[in-house]
Amino acid sequence: MYIDTHLHLCNRWCDDIHRPKAITDIDKNKIVTWAQSWDIPSYMGALEYSKESKYIFPAFGVLPWEAFDYKDRFDEIAKLCKDALMLGEIGWDERNAQDKRSIPYQVPMLEVFLEAAEKYNLIMNLHFRGGLERDGFELLKSYDSKKAIIHSYSGPPEMIKEINEQGFYVSYGSSKFDKLNKAQTGYYRNRITEVHEDLLIIEIDVLQRDEEFRPPSVVFPKILKIIADMRKTTPEEIEAMNQRNVLRLIGDDPKLEVMRKILDQ
């Protein structure tokens, strides 16, 4: 079964042309999809899209770049976390922030999510980038939560050993994975081969919105193939590994009972 642990059906650049195509494709091909949000409005969107297919599960998050706009709304965030199925996308990334005013508020906002994840035992999809991979990892370790996914980990490959030891999951994939150049292939191979087989999971992240758009059912098997080649195994084994790892990650979480039933079929 295909399980995409990180997909944006809507973000700041909402696309009303391709999104319905993606949702129809997800439903028809039974692709369990964790719809990530970017801010509160996109989370409201994800909640709506999840009504359009039983395979779509919304995650609540506010990206660090939006932290300035949310600096007075941490209570509202904490409340939404309590009712959320999962958290994502959240994180810490100063270098790529268009709104530099977000910088002093990124960590305080992230900590609201980390506290909620610890309190309610929630899965988290985390974005640590721009040289903050180590700091993000250290902050994460200071909380008592194992259900963390470091999404498209971008730090040094050597650090993955420590991530493995902590039992944190790492996700990889992209809608452009079959179009990587040699340098990009090397970059991903150096990291993907370091992740422990019990901790690697698969994601699409962002679908292309231009004429290059391809639906999840076309993109996902290409990702399986690329990762299988890198790890010198088969796409079937990568698909099975992803399913095993996701099932272990969701564990006996009562909020994710519906998802577990679908995955167990």
Task: List residues binding Zn ion (CB under 5 A).
Answer: 89, 205
Kindly state the smallest distance separating residue 151's Cβ from Zn ion, in Å.
6
Least distance from C-beta 169 to Zn ion, angstroms? Answer: 15
Question: Taking every pair of C-alpha atoms in the chain, what is the biggest distance, in angstroms?
Answer: 49
Comparison of 39 and 205: residue with beta carbon closer to Zn ion:
205
When the beta carbons of 63 and 81 are compared against Zn ion, the nearer one is 63
Shortest distance (Å) from residue 251 CB to Zn ion: 23
For Zn ion, the closer of residues 88 and 215 by Cβ is: 88
What is the smallest separation between the CB atom of 24 and Zn ion, expressed in angstroms?
22
CB of 36 to Zn ion, least distance (A): 5
Q: Between 149 and 259, whose beta carbon lies closer to Zn ion?
A: 149
127 SS3 class:
strand
Say whether 92 sits in a helix, a strand or coil: strand
Closest CB to Zn ion among 66 and 89? 89
Q: Which two tokens stand for residue 171?
A: 């996700």
Cβ contacts of residue 165 below 8 Å, gap of 6+?
A: none
Q: How many CB atoms lie within 10 A of CB 186?
A: 12
Write out the E strands in the chain.
3-7, 32-35, 56-58, 87-92, 124-128, 148-151, 169-172, 200-202
Q: Are 35 and 53 a contacting pair, CB within 8 Å? A: no
Q: How far is the CB of 93 from Zn ion (least distance, A)?
A: 11
Q: At what angle do helices 74-83 and 40-49 cross, to 10 degrees?
A: 20
**Cα separations in angstroms, 194 against 139, 190, 200, 230:** 22, 7, 9, 11
Q: Which is nearer to Zn ion, 89 or 133 (CB)?
A: 89
